[in-house]
Amino acid sequence: MNDAHLDFGDMIENAPCAYVSLSPGGRIELANHTFLSWTGYAADQTAGKRLSEFLTMAGRIYYETHIAPLLRMQGSFEEFAIDVIKADGQPLQMIANASERRDADGKPLSIRLALIRATDRRRYEQELLGAREIAKASEKAAEERLQREHEASELREQFIAVLGHDLRNPLASISAGTRILDRTAQTEKEHQVIAMMQTTVIRMAGLIDNVLDLARGRLGGGIGLDRDAGKPLEPVLMGVVDELRLASPGRVIEAEFKINHAVNCDRSRIGQMLSNLLGNALTHGASNKPVVVHAVTRDESFELWVSNAGEPIPAAAMDKLFEPFFRANAHTSRQGLGLGLYIASQIAKAHGGELTVSSTREATRFTFSMPLLPADA
C-alpha cells in the first residue's frame, strides 16, 4: 500500500481537481473523491442524478443553453464558470473544462468535467466588473458636466455677441453728436472736451470690435478676411498711429514704414491689430519713453512690430498673453477686457502668419509676420 500514490486510480480519485463523468443525457456516472469531499455529498447521493440538480438555477440555465449544446457541436468547452450547490446548501463557485467522449461514429459516450474551486478568482472578477461599472458611470457623469459647461459657455458668448452688436448704434449716435457740437463749439475748453469724447468713442468702438471678434471666433465663425493686395497699406497704418497720437497726448509714437511690395491682406484687420498692439504698448510701456512702430516688407514676408520700454513682462505671464480675458496685474484703470492681444493673434493666424513676443529689460516687442503671397494665392 506504500505505493498507493503511484496508483492511477488514486491519482484520479484524489486529484487536486474535482472530476466528474456524465452520461450523454447529463446524469452523473462517476465522481471522484475530491468532488465528493468538496461538495459534501456521499457517492450514492450523486450517482444517477442529473448534474443540473447540483447546480444553482443560473448554472442550470447556463448549462442547458450553452454548455450542453457547445459540447455537442465542438466536443469541448473550456474555462467556464459554474456554481455547484454543496450538501449544506451553500454554493461553491467553480471554473470547469468539459469534453465529450465519442465513439468511432461520433456518437457521444460520456461528458467529462474537471472542476477547480474559484471562489477568490470569481470574487476578484466581480470586483473588476464592479470597478468597470463605476468607471463607466463616472466617465458618463464627466461627459455630461462638460456638455453642460459647453452649453453655458456658448450661451455666454452669444450674449456677448448680441450685447456688442447692440452697443454699436448708441455709440454711433454719440459720435455723430460730438461732431455736430464741435461745429458750434465756442471756447478752447469746449473743443478739448469734445476731442476727448471723440477719442473715447474711438476707444469704445475698438473694444466693441474686439468683443464681437471674440464671440465670432468662439462661436465657430472664425475671423473673416477681406484681402486686397491692390490697395496701399501704409495710409491705413498711419491713420491708426495718428488716431492714437491724438488719444494719447504727451506720449511719443515713432513710426517707420518701408512697404515696398504689395501686401495681400485685409487692411482694416491689420489696422485693428496695430491699434490693439499700440494700445497695449501705451498702457503697459514706460510713459516717458517712446513707443516704436515698424512695418517692413522683405522678399517673402511682411513684418510689423511695436515695441515699448519699461518693466519686462513677467515670465509666468508670457504663456497666457494671447489667451482671451488675460490681464496683467491691474495696476492702472486703463486696463481693457484683456481681448486686444487675443484678437491680434487671431488676425495674425487668419493671415497665415504669427504674432510673437520678446520682452527684456531694454524693450518689449510684439512682432507680427506673414508670408507675402501673390494676390491670387
Partner 1 sequence: MMFAHGFGCDQNMWRFVAPAFEKDFRTVLFDHVGAGGSDLGAYEKTKYSSLAGYADEVVEMGRELDLRDAVFVGHSVSGMIGVLAAGKAPGMFGKLVLVGPSARYIDDEGYKGGFSAKQIEELLQFLESNHMGWSAQMAPMIMGNPDRPELGQELTNSFCRTDPEIAKAFARVTFTSDNRGDLARVAVPTLVLQCSEDIIAAQEVGDFVNHTIPNSRMIVLKATGHCPNLSAPEEVISAMRTFV
Site residues for partner 1 per CB under 8 A: 24-26, 50, 52, 56-62, 64-66, 68-70, 72-74, 77-81, 83, 122, 125-126, 129
Residue 148: its H or E element: helix 119-184
Backbone dihedral angles phi then psi of residue 14, each to the nearest 5 degrees: -110, 30
At closest approach, how far in Å is the CB of 22 from partner 1?
Answer: 11
Q: Residue 219 is placed in which grid cell?
A: 462661436
At closest approach, how far in Å is the CB of 40 from partner 1?
Answer: 22
Report the candidate in 31, 68, 33, 61 with the shortest Cα–Cα distance to residue 46: 31
Backbone dihedral angles phi then psi of residue 19, each to the nearest 5 degrees: -140, 125
Rounded-to-integer distance, Cα 97 and Cα 76, Å: 8
Which residue, 127 or 311, has its beta carbon nearer to partner 1? Answer: 127
Residue 311 Cα distances to 290, 319, 341, 362, 365, angstroms: 14, 17, 18, 9, 12
Both ends of the chain: CA-CA distance in Å? 99
Which residue, 84 or 211, has its beta carbon nearer to partner 1? Answer: 84
- Which DSSP string corresponds to 309-338? -SSPPPHHHHTTTTSTT------STT---S
At closest approach, how far in Å is the CB of 95 from partner 1?
Answer: 9
Which residue, 57 or 377, has its beta carbon nearer to partner 1? Answer: 57
Report the candidate in 101, 100, 99, 62 with the shortest Cα–Cα distance to residue 81: 62
Report the candidate in 47, 35, 48, 29 with the shortest Cα–Cα distance to residue 110: 29
At closest approach, how far in Å is the CB of 21 from partner 1?
Answer: 17
At closest approach, how far in Å is the CB of 58 from partner 1?
Answer: 4
Backbone dihedral angles phi then psi of residue 325, each to the nearest 5 degrees: 65, 15
Which residue, 81 or 317, has its beta carbon nearer to partner 1? Answer: 81
Rounded-to-integer distance, Cα 48 and Cα 113, Å: 16
Which residue, 65 or 147, has its beta carbon nearer to partner 1? Answer: 65
At closest approach, how far in Å is the CB of 26 from partner 1?
Answer: 6
Q: Residue 84 is placed in which grid cell?
A: 455547484
At closest approach, how far in Å is the CB of 267 from partner 1?
Answer: 53
Which residue, 70 or 296, has its beta carbon nearer to partner 1? Answer: 70
Report the candidate in 199, 219, 210, 220 with the shortest Cα–Cα distance to residue 168: 210
At closest approach, how far in Å is the CB of 144 from partner 1?
Answer: 19
What angle is formed at CA 225 by the lines to CA 224 and CA 231, rounded to 5 degrees? 160
Which residue, 49 or 289, has its beta carbon nearer to partner 1? Answer: 49
Rounded-to-integer distance, Cα 120 and Cα 152, Å: 48
Which residue, 123 or 168, has its beta carbon nearer to partner 1? Answer: 123
Which residue, 79 or 319, has its beta carbon nearer to partner 1? Answer: 79
At closest approach, how far in Å is the CB of 7 from partner 1?
Answer: 32
Which residue, 56 or 301, has its beta carbon nearer to partner 1? Answer: 56
At closest approach, how far in Å is the CB of 57 from partner 1?
Answer: 4
Report the candidate in 274, 267, 320, 272 with the shortest Cα–Cα distance to residue 294: 274
